[in-house]
Chains A and B, each alone.
Chain A
Amino acid sequence: MNKKPRSLIRIIIPVVLTLVTIALIVWPMLAGGQYVVLDPKGPIGASQRDLIVISTILCAVVIVPVLILSAVIVWRYRDKPDNKSAYEPNWAHSTKAEAIWWTIPIIIIGLLAIVTIRYTYDLEPSKPMASEKAPVTIQVSSLDWKWLFMYPEQGIATVNTLNIPADRPVKFELTADSPMNSFWIPQLGGQIYTMSGMAMTLYLQADHEGQYWGSGANFTGEHFAQMRFDVNATSEEDFDKWVNEVKQQSQPLTQEMYKTLAEPGTSNVAYYSSFPEGLFQDIVTKYVVDGQSAHSKHGEASGAKEITTQDVDKSAN
């Protein structure tokens, strides 16, 4: 029964597999890929990274011993004529043992639940960030298949490129003039859906100047893969300079042009020196029936705003 080469193969296979796995994880880091989620550049992303690490460790505390235990049990009790370990075909119950393994998962999940609940409130996307600086507001609308960014305080707009001042909270207000998408800048923090008929709020901040990228994370049809955009976090001065440049060098976005832009199709990066007043609110309320929003209940607890026609009148920017 005990042929040497076969048992050798049985050892080689797992060893090779382990090495391949490790190589796989290390290789992309050398080859230029980047674990953006684990390499955050802002406080929200950093908390989420911490949470990912904490939850991984908590889970690993149970599963690593269990994985080892499984291997040991399978090895030890394999059916070999010369296997001397105990064999008890009728041993099928032990209150003590079962109590132990009901308790372990309960404790671990309990701990994880506490951590999760704390972070869920802390990281609620619409919660304003603690900062001495006032947030910049940027209105985001996902279109088929491009992103429109409007800067109400600056009066400019861009397509498929986003500039933000570093080290200052950014308040994103988000909606969609397309099927639901999801706005995601992995290095700054987690995503939130953009939905037509409602306005969501997401606070993010970049701690450092630099170039990041964002993308749409929820499938929206044919050219969904094209919905990537650059995020430039610059110093306050550079940001102002950039705003001025856009103001001087670009054309305004008119209502007509928006209509064309919103039609299905991809788009290059574009800059606009101004945009129609209340465009964002118009998009949100596009489908509102008689001042009633489509989404009656959900979103109330968060920063999701149901903007009604009255709000639109008030919000002239």
Chain B
Amino acid sequence: MLERLKEFASEFFVTGDPLIYGADVAIGITMITIVAVLTYFKKWGWLWRNWLTTVDHKKIGIMYIIASIIMLFRGGVDALMMRLQLAMPNMDFLHPEHYNQVFTTHGTIMILFMAMPFMFGLFNVIVPLQIGARDVAFPFLNALSFWLFFLGAMLFNLSFVIGGSPDAGWLSYPPLSELSHSPGVGQNFYIWGIQISGIGSLATGINFLVTIIKMRAPGMKWMKMPMFTWSVFSTCIIILFAFPILTVTLALLFLDRFAGAHFFTLDLGGNPMMYINLIWMWGHPEVYIVVLPAFGVFSEIVSTFSKKKLFGYKSMVFAMLIISFLSFFTWAHHFFTMGSGADVNAFFAVTTMLIAIPTGVKIFNWLFTMYRGRISMATPMLWTIAFIPCFIVGGMTGVMLSVAPADFQFHNSYFLIAHFHQVLIGGVAFGYFAGLYYWWPKMFGFKLEEKLGKWAFWLWNIGFYVCFMPQYAVGLMGMTRRLSTYGWDTGWWELNFVSTIGAFLMGAGFLFQVAQIADGIRKYKTLKASGDPWGGRTLEWSIPSPAPEYNFAVTPRGDDIDEWWEEKERRAKGIYPPEQPLEPIHMPKNSAIPFIMSIFWFIAGFGFVFGWLWMAILGLAGVGICMIARSFSYDTDYYIPVDEIKRTEASLRGSV
């Protein structure tokens, strides 16, 4: 019995690697600390009532962002491990197998569990405030989306210490991801982690589409909507069409692995290329999903900190919508070298290049928003300014990659790695950082101090160029991606060494950001921010910081593009809006169901990962019960009485 238990444990837990033992210990200590702290300060009830069961979009947004920053840390540590391994030829720090797991988890986590939730966090915190709404269209579904994402991400992360990580790359091409080549459970973790959080992403997409369509403040016509909201809208359209493809593709892959189907296998008529087509039909739009909201963030920031209207509003909207449309017609540029023939390659090369046109227009519009403005260099604006040259260069190398016959030489080389990190870090990560700094006071009611933030900014930026510029060069020297090691004879080591230094500089930048946040929390009383700390232009700045749970005491109007800015101008001229009577506000009640249901999803996922059908069925049954429980709960809302609104407003505005 004991023997069998031992044997099981050695297969169940990942063993044999000191790095992983270290992680085991770290995870254990963290868990114990969290439980101890919560118990000691008697915070369990608070945690349950205020966070685990909340349906408040602002809190959900904050949870998304916290989760995302933790994942940025994990993905970042992975990145540093890879860079260490590649710093010198013939390094023996990570074995090839381990290296493969690390780049797979790094890519998957960064895109799906860092960028996506960061983006959803910003959606949640800001969109309802910007459009003058009290909540999202489906608050319960919103909470469910978050918990599905969170437990999906946790399931994926578990693979690292239990069962073993996936190692077939972040897009898991078959046959490497098939049972024949990945017999372990790592690939199942990949499939179920993404699948569960993917349901959440699709639901969020729908939720925000409906929210934006249905819940805008009176007067806010389509062409009066703030640019960030427009970017969320275009992103959600892409999500709506792209995520179902991912769901189906991964489901088919799972059927191959679990039920012995042959959709993508080599034998019995399966076709791996089908998978590659499908996964990129999702994967390419996915990169626009994460970058469009960043464009929205930059648009808001650039006009606020230049104290000027956004230039070319209509062009901006139009450009964004074209990008979302075109993003579905470019996927084959990921396999120009598959021998699809000149017709196909020429078509996809051109559709890919076309995207550069609207993107270029957006850059000009941002520049001309600054032109004849007054640019103040607060941290959100610094990141925005740094984004512009970074994205211009990243975009240019993207265009170079889209030239199909030239891509025969760039494909799968470090040139490509440098390109996509330039757009993902320079565009997406910088964009979300900018957004976080910008809306931080709105979320928490205090402003972060700038000094540490500027250190972080410079370290990230210098680190970025030191890390990735040499990679363009080493790509032209023929170094291919996903190499776990290389020899002295290649002549690649100097550039790789420099690149590693840059990666660590960025790591230091991240530490400064953490320090900045910790410092801010410590001193938050002295850093108190008003409702409108930056001289904002859109509706979210018209209410106190942090926003009360009902957002707006009275429904605002949205007649102008920069409604709050115009309102301030009117007030300066002595024109005040008519007093409106307060009315009781209708709010959704907290619910434990999203959290519990997601735990059952987690259990079901875990069961599927290990092929324990009893557990999978148990989990799915729990999910079913939660659904039934939800459909029989009628007491799901309440009203905030006028008195309470008055009290809240008085205390919030009093301190403004």
Does the CB pair B473–A37 fall under 8 Å? no
Contact flags (1/0) for A94-105 with B, using CB distance below 8 Å?
Answer: 000110011011
Which of the segments A121-129, A151-159, A160-168, A268-276 contacts the partner chain? Answer: A121-129
Does the CB pair B337–A302 fall under 8 Å? no
Contacts between chains A and B (CB distance < 8 A), count? 309
Which residues from 1 to 35 on chain A have a C-beta closer than 8 Å to any C-beta of chain B?
A: 13, 17, 20-21, 24-25, 27-28, 31-35
Does the CB pair B338–A37 fall under 8 Å? no
- A20 to chain B: which residues have CB within 8 Å? 466
- B271 to chain A: which residues have CB within 8 Å? 197, 294-295
CB distance from A254 to the nearest CB of B (A): 24
Does the CB pair B315–A98 fall under 8 Å? yes
Contact flags (1/0) for A74-115 with B, using CB distance below 8 Å?
Answer: 100111000101111111110001100110111001001101
**Contact (A298, B400) CB under 8 Å given A55-B406, A70-B389, A89-B309:** no
Does the CB pair B315–A190 fall under 8 Å? no
- A213 to chain B: which residues have CB within 8 Å? 478
Residue total for B at the interface (Cβ-Cβ under 8 A): 105
CB distance from A192 to the nearest CB of B (A): 5
For the A-B complex with A13-B462, A35-B476, A92-B308 known, give 17 more contacts whose Cβ atoms are closer than 8 Å: A36-B476, A70-B367, A73-B370, A87-B373, A113-B353, A116-B353, A121-B342, A179-B272, A184-B480, A193-B335, A219-B169, A219-B173, A221-B181, A222-B96, A225-B485, A301-B341, A303-B339
Interface band, chain A: 35 or more
Does the CB pair A304–B403 fall under 8 Å? no
**Contact (A120, B404) CB under 8 Å given A79-B376, A102-B315:** yes
Does the CB pair A59–B399 fall under 8 Å? yes
- A38 within 8 Å of B (CB atoms): yes
- A21 to chain B: which residues have CB within 8 Å? 465, 469
- B221 within 8 Å of A (CB atoms): no
CB distance from B98 to the nearest CB of A (A): 10
Does the CB pair B478–A89 fall under 8 Å? no
Does the CB pair A24–B473 fall under 8 Å? yes
> Can you sample 6 A-B contacts with CB below 8 Å?
A13-B462, A24-B470, A28-B494, A126-B339, A195-B273, A225-B483
Contact flags (1/0) for B532-564 with A, using CB distance below 8 Å?
Answer: 000000000000000000000000000000000
- A220 within 8 Å of B (CB atoms): yes
**Contact (A300, B491) CB under 8 Å given A77-B370, A105-B360:** no
- A191 within 8 Å of B (CB atoms): yes
Which residues from 306 to 322 on chain B have a C-beta closer than 8 Å to any C-beta of chain A?
A: 306-313, 315
Identify the 10 closest CB pairs spanning chains A and B, nearest first. Answer: A190-B408, A301-B341, A33-B491, A92-B309, A101-B364, A105-B360, A123-B405, A219-B482, A79-B376, A302-B341
- B204 within 8 Å of A (CB atoms): no
Distance in angstroms between the alpha carbons of A91 and B371 in the assembled complex: 9
Distance in angstroms between the alpha carbons of A212 and B298 in the assembled complex: 47
**Contact (A301, B413) CB under 8 Å given A48-B406, A117-B350, A120-B346:** no
Contact flags (1/0) for B253-268 with A, using CB distance below 8 Å?
Answer: 0000000000000111
